[in-house]
Every structure is written in structure tokens, then in C-alpha cells.
Amino acid sequence: MASVTIRNAVKSYGAMQVLHGVSLEAHDGEFVVLVGPSGCGKSTLLRMIAGLETITDGQIAIGERVVNELEPKERDIAMVFQSYALYPHMTVRDNMAFSLKLSRRSKAEIAVEVNRAAEILALAPLLERYPRQLSGGQRQRVAMGRAIVRNPAVFLFDEPLSNLDAKLRVQMRGEIKSLHARLNSTMIYVTHDQMEAMTMADRIVVMRSGKIEQIGTPLDIYDNPANSFVASFIGSPSMNLIEGTVEDRGAQVVLRDRAGVEWTLPARARAHIGRDVTLGVRPEHVAITEGASNARIDNIEPTGADTHVQVDVGSNIVTLVRHERLDLPVGAEISVRNDPDRSMLFCPSSGERLT
Ligand SMILES: Nc1ncnc2c1ncn2[C@@H]1O[C@H](COP(=O)(O)OP(=O)(O)O)[C@@H](O)[C@H]1O
Ligand SMILES: [Mg+2]
């Protein structure tokens, strides 16, 4: 087991820089998830840790050892990819044993490791099958088995669940987490799916355009996003972002949006009176209230436990989530209100959090 320390890592392909100085530490035994939109540099960073890409500038250490110049096989890591990359002509047992054979381990040792991994992953009954005789989830488990047999200090996962259907993805999420609890190894996991990040991570690293936007525990990032990008990327449905001007209404401070609709702000917003800002409100912090209507229902989606509602409020479409059944037709006029104490303000140009 080992920590992974990344110091100011830069990656360029020719003249194009795709990572602009990324620093982060995954502690020994930690489950760290790199999340961000497609193309932001997650795979590149993971492949640099693995040694599959060169490091243009900066330093990567596994444990105490700087690995910049080490070959992948000298780094004590194992990587699991989205495409399982199993050998079709080999049985599950041989697929799992392959890397150990390459490193010339004894037959007895290999058998012990393969059986141990098969037991952890419930693959024992499938050891003599070929990949084509397995379901997607089973193939993914074999891919993980190939990593486990090597007893690596660090596991690296690049979107390992993206090829699975939604239900299996949720199940495998749980399996990988219990694998982590059981092995207690350092794991760095890449995904573009914020829900995977939220449910699996000890800590989340949110990336955008080759930079880290924020690092924190899932709930800390959810409750205290550093900027409007993180705020809208993490959470589903996304946070509502409403532009307007902060105005003084005596006892209250309000945001007057572009259509003249007024949203109540927390008292600490008083510091920003007169300023143009972006108000951020999560869908669960918008309530349907009694009173004069200010919104019209655009769309209503019952999900079973919750109801998602899109309402037209002046110039904005606002999403709200209620933990109840709502018997309201599209087009109904209703009154909605944000919870001021759970509302955030962002700078409209930089996106930086103001309150
Ligand atoms: N071999 C390569 N040559 C040139 N550009 C690349 C190469 N690999 C990745 N890139 C570019 O680097 C950026 C980051 O890619 P990647 O790390 O794959 O993103 P992610 O995994 O977050 O979707 C993208 O703009 C991508 O086009
Ligand atoms: Mg990728």
C-alpha cells in the first residue's frame, strides 16, 4: 500500500497543453475519484500515474518513490480499463494468471493468487470459462481480478463501469467499494459520472479543462462548492443558477433577476448590495408555497419517491425536487420560493463563490 503524490503535473501533446499544473495527494488506503466532463484530462492524469504517458513537467511519487522515470511494471500499480481488454482465447483463470506468468512467478504462487482473487470476486465457478461465455458484469470482475492478483500498492480505474447497463453499474459500484474496504488499498478512480463520484469517493477531485477546481469529501463539495462550475456539475438535477442584482429591501436582501422576479437572499448577501451576481439554489431548496403565483409548470416528472418539476419563473426555468407525489398539471400556475439560508452567490464572470 502507498500514497500517491502529484506535484504540479503538466502534460503537453506537442504544442497543446492538456494538464496545466495539477497537484494532489491520495493518502494510503484512500479511495479518490477524479471527476469532470469528457476531455478535461482525467485519463491523461491517470495514465501518467500508471506510466503509460510521459510526464511533461512536475513530479509523481508512489509512496516515497518518485516514479517519473520508472516503467509501468516497476510502479507497483494495476489498472482497470473501461474496455476490459481480456484475452478472448484464454480462460478466466489464464486471463487472471497472465501478468504473474510474465513476471515468472511459480505455478504454486500463481494458483494461490488466482484462487484468492477468484474468491474475493466470486469468480471461482467461472475460472474455466472463456470471456465470450461471461456477462458484462462478470467480464468486468475478471478485469478487476487481473488487477487484484498482482497485489499492487495502488489500483487505478478508468471509467470501469461505463460499458455496463444502469442497474449493473449500481451493483458494481457497491462491489468495488466493498473490494476497497476489504483490500484497504489506495484506489484512484476516474469517471465523468458525478453520481459515481458522490457514492464511491472518500474524496472527490473535480477537474475542468486540465485543472483541479476543487478537492473535498462528497458532501463537503455538495454543500460548499468553490465555484458555479463545481456547484452545477455535482448534484442531479443540477443546481439552479439565476443571474440578477442584489438589492436592499430594508429588513431583507433580495436578488432581482432579469425578469424582475425577486428571490430572498441570506442576510450575509448584504455585503454585495448593488452587485450583479449569480444566485445558486439546489432543486431540493426550492419550495412550492401558498401565495400569489410567480411560476408556471413546464414539465413534471414523477420518479416514484420524488417528483422533479421544471417551472417557468420570469426569464428562468427553475428545477425543483419534492419528496412527495404532486398532482399538478403542466401549465398550472404556482408559487415557488427559494430557501435563503441554503442559497449561494457566485461571481457571474469568474464563477467564484461569494457567499
Ligand atoms: N495522445 C494524445 N494526443 C493528443 N491529444 C490527446 C491525446 N490523448 C488525449 N489528448 C487530449 O487531451 C485532452 C484530455 O483527454 P483525456 O485525458 O482523455 O480526457 P478525459 O479522460 O477527461 O475525457 C483532450 O483534449 C484530448 O483530446
Ligand atoms: Mg477518459
Is the confidence at residue 312, as pLDDT, over 80? Answer: yes
- In the chain, what percentage of residues exceed pLDDT 70? 100
- End-to-end alpha carbon distance in the chain: 40
Reading the block at residue 264, the C-alpha cell is 430572498
Return the pLDDT at 341.
96
Return the pLDDT at 82.
85
Intervals of CATH 2.40.50.140 along the chain: 240-346
Residue 38 CA, ligand 1 centroid: distance in Å: 9
Return the pLDDT at 157.
97
Lowest pLDDT segment from 31-40, 116-125, 299-308: 116-125
Mean pLDDT value of segment 68-88:
92
Q: Does the beta carbon of 18 sit less than 6 angstroms from any atom of ligand 1?
A: yes
Lowest pLDDT segment from 138-142, 163-167, 200-204, 314-318: 163-167
Intervals of CATH 3.40.50.300 along the chain: 4-227
pLDDT tens-digit series, residues 262-277 = 999 999 999 999 999 9
The residue whose C-alpha atom lies closest to atom 17 belonging to ligand 1 is 41
pLDDT classification of 85: cutoffs 50, 70, 90: confident
Is the confidence at residue 252, as pLDDT, over 80? Answer: yes
Q: Does the beta carbon of 42 sit less than 6 angstroms from any atom of ligand 1?
A: yes
Q: Does the beta carbon of 303 sit less than 6 angstroms from any atom of ligand 1?
A: no
Return the pLDDT at 131.
95
Residue 295 burial (CB < 10 Å; 0-12/13-18/19+)? Answer: buried
Return the pLDDT at 190.
98
Residue 16 CA, ligand 1 centroid: distance in Å: 10
Is the confidence at residue 83, as pLDDT, over 90? Answer: no
- Asked if 124 and 111 count as a contact pair (C-beta separation under 8 A), the reply is no
pLDDT tens-digit series, residues 293-311 = 999 999 999 999 999 999 9
Return the pLDDT at 115.
95
Mean of the per-residue pLDDT values of the chain:
95
pLDDT tens-digit series, residues 199-251 = 999 999 999 999 999 999 999 999 999 999 999 999 999 999 999 999 999 99
pLDDT tens-digit series, residues 100-111 = 999 899 999 999
**Closest-lying ligand 1 atom to the alpha carbon of residue 42:** 22
Lowest pLDDT segment from 48-52, 79-83, 153-157: 79-83
Q: Does the beta carbon of 43 sit less than 6 angstroms from any atom of ligand 1?
A: yes
Is the confidence at residue 1, as pLDDT, over 80? Answer: no
Q: Which residues of 9-26 are buried (b: 16+ CB within 10 A; e: fewer)?
A: bbbeeeeeebbeebebeb
Considering only CA atoms, which of 46, 6, 1, 50 is closest in space to residue 28? Answer: 1
Q: Does the beta carbon of 38 sit less than 6 angstroms from any atom of ligand 1?
A: yes
Q: Does the beta carbon of 14 sit less than 6 angstroms from any atom of ligand 1?
A: no
- Asked if 295 and 312 count as a contact pair (C-beta separation under 8 A), the reply is yes
When the candidates are 1.10.10.10, 3.40.50.720, 2.40.50.140, 1.10.3720.10, the CATH number that belongs to 240-346 is 2.40.50.140
Return the pLDDT at 352.
98
Residue 41 CA, ligand 1 centroid: distance in Å: 6
Residue 274 burial (CB < 10 Å; 0-12/13-18/19+)? Answer: exposed
Is the confidence at residue 133, as pLDDT, over 80? Answer: yes
Domain 4-227 top-level CATH class: alpha beta
pLDDT tens-digit series, residues 145-182 = 999 999 999 999 999 998 888 888 999 899 899 999 99
